[in-house]
């Protein structure tokens, strides 16, 4: 009993001195709590769906960040991993009756294979060459899918998969917990020695090579890890939507992933996740435009022409969703070119000039080495 209280006190002490001191850590904790408690706060299947889709794309965007953000190997064809994961798990599930719990990891393994197959030739390429070459792989695959509809379902895709779980809540928790675990794993990977090497590859590959590190091996590792996580998100998507269609491989999917990741801030992992959880609910929220109506009283007191214009304007409003989305991204980027989350983080935290530990920005002295912060 005494030892239990001892460990509890120790835990509380760690919690107070490590988590509560930094706003970003508190934010991460609140995010975890929010995701876990969400079904209690908003018990509505529609809201579950938004969060589930956001979680799936959060894994995808974070996996893009793991590859492209950290190693600087710009991958414009991330939809390849997503699509291969989705199609493989869908076909395994449908043809061999493998349950989702096994078919999703198998799909991820297939995505890793795809990553290795394209990674080995692509590693000889640099920068923009690599970006534009990777862009082409999902398009090649889409062409194949359309050309051989007997096997792949063509335009309609593979449908009729088994569900992840029988209830909305079950679906919700399976996807969100997977997301939280995978994102934490990715965060840990990028925090480890591997992450440091990957980061160094982006900054100066030659310097890393001269330090005796086999950069090709690490780049391939990044390709496979990223492919694995993206493949899992693809499998989850296929089983959640119960269909794997060619839309998973579209150029748009690849571009959206890049948008999420850069919008949130690259080489951070938490950035892309945060960006997805800002942008996807924003897109859903913009659906309220469908219900905007102008009250008749206001219309009656307006000049006729202006009234007509307003009515017309409200009619086309629902279709402006993607327009507003893209415009919002453009505007945010103009003011926060490093991404949304790093910008916010720099507002509330400052780095100690002496010991490089982060501090809340209202502190005058560093919390570790007491150096002057300003």
Partner 1 sequence: MIHDIKVLDIIISGLISGSTYAILALGFSLIFGVARIVNIAHTAFYMLAAYVIYSATYKMGIHPIVAMIIAIIVITFLGIICYKFLIEPIREREAAVLIATIALAMVFQESMLLGFGGHYLSVQPLIKGYLAIMGVKIMWQQLLTIIIAVVTLGAVWTWLSKTRTGLAIRSTAQDREVANLMGMDEGKIAVITMGVSVALAAFTGAVVVPLTVLNPFMWLHPLVMMMAAVVLGGMGSLKGSFVGAYILGFTEALVVFLLPGGAYLKVSVALFIMVLVLVIRPEGLYGVYFEEER
Torsion of Cα atoms, 15 then 17 then 21 then 27, to 10°? -20
Instruction: Tell me how far apart the alpha carbons of residues 196 and 81 are, in angstroms, rounded to a whole number.
Output: 24
Instruction: Tell me how far apart the alpha carbons of residues 109 and 81 are, in angstroms, rounded to a whole number.
Output: 10
At its nearest, how many Å lie between partner 1 and the CB of residue 140? 4
E strand or H helix at 359, and its extent? strand 358-360
Given a contact cutoff of 8 angstroms between Cβ atoms, the answer to whether 255 and 84 are in contact is no
| 150 lies in the site for partner 1, by CB under 8 A | no
| 87 lies in the site for partner 1, by CB under 8 A | no
| 247 lies in the site for partner 1, by CB under 8 A | no
| 258 lies in the site for partner 1, by CB under 8 A | yes
Phi-psi bin for 5: left (phi > 0), alpha (psi -120 to 50), beta? alpha
| 151 lies in the site for partner 1, by CB under 8 A | no
| 255 lies in the site for partner 1, by CB under 8 A | yes
| 67 lies in the site for partner 1, by CB under 8 A | no
| 143 lies in the site for partner 1, by CB under 8 A | yes
Collapsing DSSP states into helix, strand and coil, what is residue 351?
A: strand
Q: Which is nearer to partner 1, 102 or 316 (CB)?
A: 316
What the block records as the tokens of 158 is 């593979």
Residues of span 260-289 touching partner 1 by CB under 8 A: 262-263, 266
The pair phi, psi for residue 177, each rounded to 5°, is -65, -40
| 139 lies in the site for partner 1, by CB under 8 A | yes
| 144 lies in the site for partner 1, by CB under 8 A | yes
| 147 lies in the site for partner 1, by CB under 8 A | yes
Collapsing DSSP states into helix, strand and coil, what is residue 358?
A: strand
Among 17, 128, 211, 365, binds partner 1 (CB under 8 A): 128
Torsion of Cα atoms, 146 then 150 then 151 then 156, to 10°? 60
Given a contact cutoff of 8 angstroms between Cβ atoms, the answer to whether 55 and 41 are in contact is no
Count, residues near partner 1 per rule CB under 8 A: 42
At its nearest, how many Å lie between partner 1 and the CB of residue 305? 20
Piece in contact with partner 1 (CB under 8 A), picked from 18-26, 37-45, 130-138, 279-287: 130-138
Residues that bind partner 1 (CB under 8 A): 121, 124-125, 128-129, 131-133, 135-137, 139-144, 146-147, 206, 251, 255, 258-259, 262-263, 266, 316, 319-320, 322-323, 325-327, 329-330, 333-334, 337-339
């Amino acid at each position: 009993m005494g030892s239990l209280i001892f460990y509890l006190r120790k835990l509380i002490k760690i919690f107070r001195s490590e988590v509560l001191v930094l706003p970003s850590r508190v934010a991460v904790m609140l995010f975890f709590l929010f995701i876990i408690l969400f079904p209690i706060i908003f018990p509505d299947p529609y809201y579950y769906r938004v969060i589930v889709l956001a979680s799936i794309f959060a894994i995808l965007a974070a996996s893009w960040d793991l590859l492209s953000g950290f190693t600087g190997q710009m991958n414009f064809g991330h939809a390849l991993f997503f699509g291969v994961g989705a199609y493989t798990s869908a076909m395994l599930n449908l043809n061999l009756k493998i349950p989702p719990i096994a078919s999703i990891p198998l799909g991820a393994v297939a995505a890793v294979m795809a990553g290795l197959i394209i990674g080995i030739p692509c590693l000889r390429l640099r920068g923009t060459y690599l970006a534009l070459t990777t862009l082409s792989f999902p398009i090649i695959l889409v062409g194949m899918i359309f050309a051989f509809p007997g096997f792949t379902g063509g335009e309609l895709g593979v449908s009729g998969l088994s569900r992840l779980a029988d209830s909305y809540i079950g679906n919700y928790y399976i996807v969100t917990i997977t997301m939280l675990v995978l994102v934490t794993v990715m965060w840990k990977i990028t925090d480890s020695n591997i992450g440091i090497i990957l980061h160094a590859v982006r900054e100066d590959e030659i310097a890393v090579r001269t330090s005796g590190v086999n950069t090709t091996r690490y780049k391939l590792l990044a390709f496979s890890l990223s492919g694995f996580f993206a493949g899992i998100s693809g499998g989850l998507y296929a089983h959640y939507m119960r269909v794997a269609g060619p839309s998973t491989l579209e150029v748009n999917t690849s571009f959206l992933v890049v948008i999420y990741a850069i919008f949130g801030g690259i080489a951070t992992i938490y950035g892309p996740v945060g960006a997805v959880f800002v942008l996807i609910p924003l897109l859903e929220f913009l659906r309220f435009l469908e219900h905007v109506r102008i009250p008749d009283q206001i219309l009656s007191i307006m000049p006729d022409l202006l009234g007509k214009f307003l009515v017309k304007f409200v009619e086309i409003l629902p279709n402006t969703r993607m327009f507003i989305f893209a415009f919002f991204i453009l505007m945010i980027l103009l003011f926060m070119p490093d991404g949304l989350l790093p910008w916010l983080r720099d507002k509330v935290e400052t780095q100690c000039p002496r010991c490089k530990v982060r501090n809340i920005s209202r502190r005058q002295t560093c919390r570790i080495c007491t150096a002057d912060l300003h």
